Every structure is written in C-alpha cells, then in structure tokens.
Amino acid sequence: MNARKLAFEVLRRVEEGGAYASRALDAALAGAGARDPREAGLATELVYGTLRRALALDAALAPHSRRPVAALDPPARIALRLGAYQLLVLRTPAHAAVGEAVALVKAVDHGRAAGYVNAVLRALARAPGFPEPPPLATDPAGHVAAAEALPRWLAEEWVAWLGPEEALALARAMNGPAPLCLRAATDRDGLVARLRAAGIDAAPAPRAPEGVRVTGAPVAAVARAAGDLAFQVQDEAAQLVTLFAAGELRGAKARVLDACAAPGGKAFHLAELLAPGSEVVAVELHPRKADALAREAARRGLAGIRVICADAARPVPGLEPGSFDAVLVDAPCAGLGTLRRHPELKLRRAPEDLPRMAALQREIAASAARYAGAGAPVTYSICSLSRVEGPDVVRGLLETGFRRAPPPAGFPADVLTPDGDLLTLPSRHGTDGFFAARLMR
C-alpha cells in the first residue's frame, strides 16, 4: 500500500466511519509495517493537509464540477480532494496526481465516478488555483474562511470575539502542525538533558513547570531516549489547566475532584502535584473509559486516584458535598481549540452544536460544585474556542450565585484575560486552544 492509497483509506475511515484522523492514521501506519519514512511522511501530509484545506479544495474544484463536491459519494469526494491537494499545494505533476486519484476510485468499484474524477481534476490541472479571498477590511469573516479553509460560521465567531487580525492568525495557526509536548512527572531537567544527549531538540516549556517541548522527533524516539524517566504526552495548555485549578495545592495533602476525567491526563497530573496521602477522585461517565483510566493509574503507581463511573451532571454516589479542596470540570465540548490535532472537527461541527454543548457544561459545573468545600475553587475548562461555550457559560454561572476566584499565586499572566480567566491560543502561545474559569460559591 503506497502513501496515497493509505491516505485514501484513512480519509474514508474519518469521513464514513467517524474516526479521528490521528488514531486512524496511527493504526494504518502500524498495520502497514516497516516502510520508507518518506512514504509515511507523505501519507501524513496528505491526510492532515487534505482535511485542513478541505473547504478551500472544494472551492477550487467547484468551477469544474457539475455537482457540489460535498454532494458526491465519499470515495469520489475524497479522491478529488486528494488530487486537488497534490495539484495545488504539493505541486505534484498532473499526470501523477490525476492518475493516482482515478486509480483510487476505480479500486473501490466506482467506475462511473472514476471518469468524473478524471475529468474534474484534468480541468483543475489546466487552471490550477484557489479562489481569491475577499478583502479582510471589507469582509473579514469571508476572508478568514476562504484564506484558511474555515467554515464561515466559525470565522464569523472568531472575528466577532477576537477581531479580524487575531481571528486570521488563529485560523492560520490551526492549519499548522501541533508541537509535541510532554509532562515530566519527576525530573524535567533530567528528561531534557537525556533527550538532547540523544540528538533530540527538546526544551523546557515556557509556562508549565513540568512541560517539555520536542521538535522533529516522534514519541517512540523520545521514549527510547528517556529510558526510565517517566513522562506523559500532554499539551502545555492542558497542563496549565491543572495548575489553574489546583496549583496552590502543590505539595499539600488534599482531596481534588476531577469531574470529567477520561482519558486521565489531568487526574494523573493532579495526583503528581499533591502530597502522599492525598486523594484524586476521577469521575467518568463511560464504563470502558473509566476502566481504562483505573488501569492506567494503577500501571503508573498512582494509588491516590479513585475512579468512579458516574454521571457528573447528577449527584455522584458515595461523595459527600463540601468535601473537596478543589473541583475541576474539564467538560465535554466541541473541541474547536484542537483543530491542529483534529482538523476533521471543523468539517463535523455545526453552529447548533455549541448551545447544546454549553447547556451540558453548565449542568455539569453546577452539579459538581456541590462537592467543593468552603472557599474551594471550582474550575470550568474546555478545549474549545467560542463565546457560547466559554465566556457565556461563565456568565450564566455567575448569574446563579458563583463568583470568580483569583488564580493561584504566580500563575502566568500572559494566558489570563482581563477577567482573570485562562485563554490559550495557538496563534499567541503555541499551545492548544483552552478556556477556563476559576469560580467559587
């Protein structure tokens, strides 16, 4: 299976099966076995590039297609996008880009579609180019959407919230690769030294005290170089959320509730921060995820983590109200802050998703707050970037009796809004996009 065939199959799993691109690609590369690193690199570029630029590719194909690209059968649509990406972005010779796309469609018994794909891509090859975006000054959302292949509704949201220039920078950053960031559980300096000794470009993260940024090396190479030094792959913004929620408890014996805990990164971080004898109660709704979290905590030797399978939007069996020193609600969200890692989300999300997610977030935060002790912070966090899910949820909570709690002493000021909320943007901070607010009753 060559790189184009592998990318085609991964994109079909993403579109037809609802898979995450990262997981589908990792599984496909592992299943393909040993291969030329250049082939693996091309497959990765084709998968992520095609997803990141899908809407712009559709716009470039539109003048040459009798039917809207979005209305075609998935195999034909995917083949057209792959061919267009190679023609317009990678500058692949037309005979190779077109011929391979046609072969991919033929291989899945789409004979008539193969002819259509051939005709459309040949027409594009004769007049290659993306449509010119409207001017940023006169149509900022239209410019951001067209220039960076963003849904118009999301471009409008970011422009209204952050302004045209910041929205454009954010959309552009979302179309770049996400850096590899680690959390060193015990010895950050030692881990950085070992990685550098192995020829890996590694440096301390600028804000998270356990964070390490790695450039140009896969996780497998990092693991080999790290040896017996423990680490976890976790974006710096996710590490900052944990510190925002409970940073003042570092080294103290305490009880912390993680109300939406899977896959467990923040719960593990909390357990590492607290003194021996502390307890982190990790609540997870889905039984399989709860079991996996419990197994991973045991494997890491984190005896202070107790996993409860329950709905955090309802009273949690066995938990006493007012019994925790901090509560973290890392709520389910639209994931719009992780488009670098999950570009397929901008093709799946719709405006109506945001109020639905926000209602669930408010419900969970209000319910979990009952377990915070007097004066204990309740931190609401999402890895999404919209006013509906972030600031509007906080505004609603404030109207029901919550008030803002100050951030922990010494928390990085450049990721705080004027209201004292946490806001990270890849365009400003090089991290995933997170929003969090620290509240109390």
DSSP state of 275: P
Report residue 386: phi and psi, to 5°: -160, 150
CA–CA separation, 282 and 203 (whole Å): 31
The token pair at 111 is: 């004979």
Q: Check 181, 260, 309, 383 and give the catalytic one.
A: 383
The token pair at 55 is: 């809407």
DSSP state of 217: -
DSSP helix, strand, coil percent of the chain (3-state; round to 5): 50, 15, 35
Q: Is 383 an active-site residue? A: yes
Task: Calculate the dihedral angle through the C-alpha atoms of 226, 32, 25, 61, rounding to the nearest 10 degrees.
Answer: 140
CA–CA separation, 170 and 158 (whole Å): 8
Q: Is 199 exposed, middle or buried (0-12, 13-18, 19+ CB in 10 A)?
A: exposed
Q: Is 301 exposed, middle or buried (0-12, 13-18, 19+ CB in 10 A)?
A: exposed
Q: Does residue 126 contact residue 67 with C-beta atoms inside 8 Å?
A: no
Smallest CA-to-CA distance from 46 within 76, 75, 78 is with 78
Q: Concatenated DSSP letters for 134-147?
A: PPTTT-HHHHHHHH
CA–CA separation, 278 and 192 (whole Å): 29
DSSP state of 193: H
The token pair at 299 is: 């494997």
As annotated, the active-site residues are 383
